[in-house]
Amino acid sequence: MAKNSGNPLNLRELSELTGKGFRTIRAALKNLKPMEDRGRGGIFYDSREALPLIYNGGGTDDSDGDLVLARERALLAKAQRERIELQTAAESGRLVDKAKAKRLAAELAMAQSKPWTQWPARVYAEMAAELGVDGVKLHQVLDEHVRRQLEAVATAPMHTAKGGVELSPPWSGEDDEVLDDDDEPEL
């Protein structure tokens, strides 16, 4: 790669960056020598040479080329920084697969709820004897209240907190930001 060359970009990346179609890009770059040809991996063009040609329709008029090129360089640098940050976060273990995290959370919730749903059946007779009340009725009341509580906890919204995400029970009264299903906590 030459000392003053730009970033290598393939047709897909140029299309995403410029918003132009493959046919338009190919036409604009027909006389430009590729920076690198990776065979099936794609043909890569020097971004410094390719972007002005694409924006000027393959011509040499460079009236707006410098401004457009500077904007595209800034966008490209930002995208590369974000990609590197994501790679670093994934490699360091700070980033986890969303589907895996949801599955593990569901397994944990199931493991926690099963003992609670079985608890009224284990303790109702002893409690009824201590309180001197009807055991069947006490079992029904305990079972209903435990299930209602588990439902409230299961449907509690997720809140952001320092260091990650926490579930806040509906009675906590916290004023943290509520996350939607599509929101991701900031790292």
Query: Does the pLDDT of residue 1 top 50, yes or no?
Result: no
Type of residue found at 35:
M
The band of 135, judged by pLDDT with boundaries at 50, 70 and 90, is very high
The band of 143, judged by pLDDT with boundaries at 50, 70 and 90, is very high
Query: Does the pLDDT of residue 178 top 90, yes or no?
Result: no
- Kindly state the helix (H) or strand (E) to which residue 52 belongs, with its residue range: helix 47-55
Residue 126's pLDDT is 94
Q: Record the tokens describing residue 150, joined without a space.
A: 């588990």
Percent of the chain with pLDDT over 90: 17
CB 159 within 8 A of CB 174: yes
CB 160 within 8 A of CB 176: yes
Domain locations in the chain as residue ranges? 8-92, 108-155, 157-187
pTM over 0.85: no
The band of 57, judged by pLDDT with boundaries at 50, 70 and 90, is low
Residues 89-128, buried b or exposed e (16+ Cβ, 10 A)? Answer: eeeeeeeeeeeeeeeeeeeeeeeebeeeeeebeeebeeeb
